[in-house]
Amino acid sequence: MKTKYIFVSGGVLSSVGKGLASAAMAALLESRGLKVTLMKMDPYLNVDPGTMNPFQHGEVFVTEDGAETDLDLGHYERFTNINLQKENSVSAGQVYETVIAKERRGEYLGGTVQVIPHITDEIKERIKKVAKAKDVCIVEIGGTVGDIESLPFLEAIRQLRFDMGEENVIFIHLTLVPYLGMSGELKTKPTQHSVQKLREIGIQPDFLLCRTDRILPPDIRSKIALFCNIKAENVITAKDVSNIYEVPLVFYEQGLDEKICQRLRLKAKSKGLAKWAKISETLALPKNGTVEIGIVGKYVDLTESYKSVSEALGHGAIANQVKVNLKYIDSEKLESTNVESELSGLSGILVPGGFGNRGVEGKIKAIEYARIHKIPYFGICIGLQLAIIEFARHVCGLNKATSREFSNTGEFVIDLMEDQRRVERLGGSMRLGAYQCKLTPKTLAYETYGSLEIWERHRHRYELNNHYRKILTDHGLILSGLNPELNLIEMVEVKDHPWFLTCQFHPEFKSKPFAPHPLFIGFVKASLKNKMQIKKTDRKITPKTSTLSSGKLSKNRSTEYR
């Protein structure tokens, strides 16, 4: 059977939900037993989002083979059983870089290199390579119709329909149908203009996914169908939902997967979506109430920066039959405010990954608060590094403990790996992708995983300085995970604490709703236990402010590239 292609574009505005829609469609088709893969085509000229500020682009997702990609690949993996690779994420920068390199090598035989056919051919070849041996390849085109940088990608998929045949390719366009409360109307003009722009490029959509806050009534669907030259039954409501795992159910109820299979002549019967319904039911009606978890970071003004973390916490909540209420705490503001006022009432505290010195002292104060008051603490990447710095300062007496990332002087308990000292190019040069970790028996890490060997995804430059291992362990720090090949510490925990566990890697990248990551299951479970204990004893925590760190690092933001 020939590979079938589904191309997903969007209009009106960005972040309307193309990534989630693509992931949901993949889930529906995968549930029918089809082999599905997904791709994200980003029109920006960056080679990858690795050096982009999270405020501009959101989270950087990391694949098993070490690619720094758009956060939508996280949605793709969470909604399916697929582990994606570098080739599943394509940017305009990658495409242009490849074509120019070919021209420099003389591969075009002296011809004039142009957007058509050279850029479009490169895009098509990348799509066909990923789609090989798959039943369906879903390709999301980033940005919106009308963006000048998206035109080569749209032209490439227009050509692919002729190359592959109409029966093997469908176009799905996602648009916005806003409801104006003042007039009490659903407005279809944005959708009409978006489709008009798409048709000017030469693409007639087969399906419209209309993002709206309510089910579209038949008359609105008929109106959209008339002006957009599409069948009314192919105008699908992409309704706002209370949690993203309801999206497949919304599409399934409208028969989208059945319509796609009919259009592409795919003979694959539906097996229902019972597991998705169960997930949604658990999230809507958790048996064990709620638990409050604080995420202490510096990108809290755009919570998409911590998308995989928040989703993984949700997966841990599903496993524990609870609802997680997340409180995003600005670590920079925490430096100058009362810690008790911000952190009291939390059942657990998490410090996610990040870069640069801004807000670091606030994170250290939060970590110390969690350690002293026996609040479950989960540190990821820099969350491990800062836990070590906090412990070195306040338990080991190394008052000048710091990271070489933050300062030029001090006790560098966190330092650059030797091979990172020679790095001159920042892009794609960190420790990236899956690495082995050996766990120490009879530790919290081992109990949580139930295994002595794990593989986890990394994205960082700095590590625990091995010269400080002895003083840290002599004072009670437990080094519970080790990369045997590089002799680098991967996991650290604290003695005599209900749940204080940190990791150098990013476990959130491997968590799925049907396979929650063990660390997030354990952290949510510990947070729930802490909440129940507090409720049982009705104890009031008095902050030990005299021990909390008060020193601040210089805020030289010009040195931060994230």
Active site residues: 381, 506, 508
Report the distance separating Cα 453 and Cα 436, nearest Å: 7
Cβ atoms 220, 188 nearer than 8 A: yes
Instruction: Please name which of 62, 122, 57 lies closest in space to residue 86, comparing C-alpha atoms.
Output: 62
- Cβ-based neighbours of 431, under 8 Å, separated by 6 or more: 417, 420, 458, 459, 460, 461
Cβ-in-10-Å burial (0-12, 13-18, 19+) of 302 comes to middle
Rounded (10°) angle between helices 18-30 and 72-79:
20
Instruction: Please name which of 372, 367, 368, 363 lies closest in space to residue 406, comparing C-alpha atoms.
Output: 363
Report the distance separating Cα 447 and Cα 141, nearest Å: 43
Sign of CA dihedral 407, 408, 414, 416: positive
Buried b (16+ CB within 10 A) or exposed e, 275-287: ebeebbebbeebe
φ, ψ dihedrals at 357, nearest 5° = -90, -5
Instruction: Please name which of 184, 252, 173, 192 lies closest in space to residue 217, comparing C-alpha atoms.
Output: 184
Residue ranges with strand state E in 461-541: 462-464, 477-483, 488-494, 500-503
Longest dimension (CA), the chain: 80
Report the distance separating Cα 480 and Cα 387, nearest Å: 14
φ, ψ dihedrals at 327, nearest 5° = -120, 115
Report the distance separating Cα 259 and Cα 165, nearest Å: 18
Q: What are 229's two structure tokens?
A: 């030259």
Cα separation of the two ends of the chain:
45
- Cβ-based neighbours of 109, under 8 Å, separated by 6 or more: none
φ, ψ dihedrals at 167, nearest 5° = -75, -10
Rounded (10°) angle between helices 218-228 and 189-201:
30
Instruction: Please name which of 47, 53, 74, 54 lies closest in space to residue 63, comparing C-alpha atoms.
Output: 74
